[in-house]
Structure 1
Amino acid sequence: MSLHRTELGETGSRVVFCHGLFGQGRNWTQAAKALSEEHRVLLLDMPNHGRSPWTETFDYLELADLVAAELGDEPVALVGHSMGGKIAMCLALRHPRLVERLAVVDVAPVAYPSGREFVGYIETMQGLDLAALGSRSEAEDALREAVPNPVVRSFLLQNLRRSDDGWHWQLNLDLLADSMPELTGWPAEALGEETYDGPVLWVGGADSDYIADEHAEEMDRRFPRNRRVLVKGAGHWVHSEQPEVFLEVLRRFLA
C-alpha cells in the first residue's frame, strides 16, 4: 500500500506530518511551506483518508507500520496531530531508528472515554444524499443544521469529491464509524513495555482537555525525554487556531 504524498523543500533535514481524523496531508500546507526553506517536508494522507488507500480494519499499529514504510531509511522529525499523533507515537515506539525526534499535537498515549462527537459527524456525512446532490453549496446547506460551526463544516466538506460517476466521500466512513472504540483507544497492551528515548515535544491547546495532568505518568513512561508546551488561545486544533505560535514552537524544536 502506497500513501498519497506531497513533498516540499529540497534541502535540510526531513520533517513528516501526520494529520488527524477527517483531515488530509494538505491541512499542514501552511506550516510545510514555512518550513520548506530549511527542511524537506513530507505531507502524507493517512490510510482511509484523502487520496490514500483504505484498510479493512482500524489498528494503530498497522497504520504506524504503513506510515513507516513511506519514510525510507533516513531518520525524520515526525509531527502528528490527534489521530495522527497516536499513529506517530506508535511509529516511534515500534520503529525508533526511523524517528530522530517526535512532536505530538494535543493528544496523549491514552484511551479516551468517548467518540460521540465524531460519530455524529460521520452519521451526518453518511446521511447526505449524494445521488441527489447538485453542488458543493447544496452539500453545505444540507449539513448546516447538524454541523452549525462553519469551520468544522468546511473541514468535513473538504472530503467531498466529484468524479465522472458523481459525488463521493474520500473518507472510509463505514470503517471509521465501526472502529470508534479503536480510534479513541490506545494499544497499550499490544505495545508492551516499548519506550522511545528520542526527544519528544508535546504541543497542547490551553483550552483543550485532550492532555491532562493524569496523562503525565504514561507520557513520561513511554517517552522519558519529553517536554510540554501549552498554547494560550488554542483548543484541540492548535496549529490552525494559533498558527504563528505553533510554527515558532515547532521551529525551535526542530532546531
Structure 2
Amino acid sequence: MLGLTPASALRQAYSGCASRVRLPTRAAAPVPGRLLAATCSHFSTVPLAYELHEPAKPVADKQTSPIIFMHGLFGSKKNNRTMSKVLARDLGRHVYALDLRNHGDSPHDEKHDYTVMAADVADFIHQHGLKDPTLIGHSMGAKTAMVLALDQPDLVANIVAVDNAPVDARLSSEFPRYIQAMRKIDEANTTRQAEADRILEPYEPSPTIRHFLLGNLHRPGAARGDSTLKFRLPLTTLGRSLDHLGDFPYKNPAEARFVKPALFVRGTKSKYVPDEVIPLIGQFFPRFELVDIDAGHWVISEKPEAFREAVLRFLEPKE
C-alpha cells in the first residue's frame, strides 16, 4: 500500500511546471452518491491538502479537467510530486496531488475507510469546480479511485488504478509491524532521524522503505525550541483501520459498474492483482485496459518511465 518517492531517473526539475501547495481551509459537507448516501449521516468529510502542478502550456479546455493523484497508505502528496510534474508537462493538464485524510497535511479523523476517503475526494472535486477529472491512485489511493468511480460515475472521466483491485484482500503483515515500529519511535522521543532509522531497521530491512516511512516525521514543538521527532500520522486510528483497509465496499458488479475507460497497472512481482481477479475487474470496469510492468508493488517508484508511458498512452487523445 505504500507509494515511495519516484526513482532518481525522474528526480529532476522540469522546466515549465509550476507547483503550488494548498492546505485545507474549511470543514466540508458529505457528498452523497449511491454507496455514500447510505452512510453519509454517520460521517463528515474533511478538506484535503494538496499541491497543484500547472503545465507551462495548458491544453485548451483542460484546466477544469485535471488529474487527481492519490497516494497509498503512509504516503503523502510529496510522494507523487515528480510524476505529477511530468504528467502536467506531457499532457498539458493541471495535476492535483492530494493528501488523503489522516496523511500529510490533511486533517485527522477517527474514521478511515474507502467510503469516507472517496467522499473526501468527491467533495474536493466539487469545492474546486473540477470537471471530468482523471483519478490516478496507487494502492489505497487506487481503491479510493475505484470506489468514487463506481459510486459517482458522472463525476469522473476515467481512472488509473495502480496495483490494486476491486476485491477484499488481507493486507500484508508488514503494515502492523510498521505501526508498532513507528509507535516505538514516538515513545523514544528521539531528535535525530538516524536514531529513528535504527529503531525501524529491525522491522524493515529495506533502506528505501524506511526512508519512505520516516518521511512522515516532523518536529511539532520546533516553535518552542523542542527538536523531538514525532510522526504526523495518527497511528492509533490507522492501526485500528488496518483490518478493513484490504476490503472493498462494493461486492456485486451487477449493482455498480463504471462504463468509462479505466486503466489498471500492476507490478508483475506484486501479489495485489493476481490473474484470478482480472475477470472481476472486467465486471466492475467493462472498458478496462491492463498494463503489466516488471516491478513490485511500488510500480511508480521502481519503473517511473514505464508507468509514465502507460499513462500517456491511456490519456492522450486517440486518433
Structure 1 residue runs of 5 or longer lacking an equivalent are: none
Residue 204 (structure 1) aligns with: 266
Deviates more, 1:154-163 or 1:128-137: 128-137
Structure 1 counterpart of 2:309, one-letter code: E
Is residue 128 of structure 1 aligned with residue 185 of structure 2? Answer: yes
Deviation at 1:125, TM superposition (A): 0.6
Please provide the CA RMSD for this pair: 1.7
Q: TM-score, normalised by structure 1?
A: 0.94
Deviation at 1:18, TM superposition (A): 0.7
**Contact 1:130 1:167 (8 Å CA) reproduced:** no
Deviates more, 1:141-150 or 1:245-254: 141-150
**Contact 1:111 1:184 (8 Å CA) reproduced:** yes
What do residues 184-203 of structure 1 show as CA deviations (whole Å, max 9, x unaligned)?
11112499711111100011
Residue 153 (structure 1) aligns with: 210
Residue 3 (structure 1) aligns with: 48
Q: TM-score, normalised by structure 2?
A: 0.76
**Contact 2:192 2:229 (8 Å CA) reproduced:** no
Is residue 41 of structure 1 aligned with residue 95 of structure 2? Answer: yes
Residue 33 (structure 2) aligns with: none
* Aligned length in residues: 254
Residue 239 (structure 2) aligns with: 177
Structure 1 counterpart of 2:311, one-letter code: L
Deviation at 1:40, TM superposition (A): 0.4
* From 71, 77, 83, the counterpart of 1:31: 83
Structure 2 residue runs of 5 or longer lacking an equivalent are: 1-45
What do residues 17-71 of structure 1 show as CA deviations (whole Å, max 9, x unaligned)?
0100010011111111112221100000010111111121222111101111111
Residue 217 (structure 1) aligns with: 279
What do residues 107-143 of structure 1 show as CA deviations (whole Å, max 9, x unaligned)?
0001113442111111111122445312112111221
Q: Secondary structure at the match of 1:230?
A: strand
Structure 2 counterpart of 1:235, one-letter code: G
Residue 90 (structure 1) aligns with: 147
Distance 1:40 1:88 in 2: 18
What do residues 121-166 of structure 1 show as CA deviations (whole Å, max 9, x unaligned)?
1111112244531211211122122221101100100011112254
Structure 2 counterpart of 1:91, one-letter code: L
Deviates more, 1:130-139 or 1:153-162: 130-139
Q: Secondary structure at the match of 1:78?
A: strand
Q: Secondary structure at the match of 1:43?
A: strand
Cα distance change on mapping 1:190 and 1:220 into 2, 3 Å? closer
Residue 3 (structure 2) aligns with: none
Q: How does 1:3-82 map to 2 (within 5 A)?
A: 3-10=48-55, 11-12=58-59, 13=62, 14-37=66-89, 38-72=92-126, 73-82=130-139
Structure 1 counterpart of 2:123, one-letter code: A
Distance 1:56 1:203 in 2: 31
Residue 252 (structure 1) aligns with: 313
Q: Secondary structure at the match of 1:70?
A: helix
Deviates more, 1:134-143 or 1:238-247: 134-143
Aligned residues: percent identity? Answer: 38
Q: Secondary structure at the match of 1:151?
A: helix
Distance 2:239 2:211 in 1: 20
Distance 1:41 1:242 in 2: 20
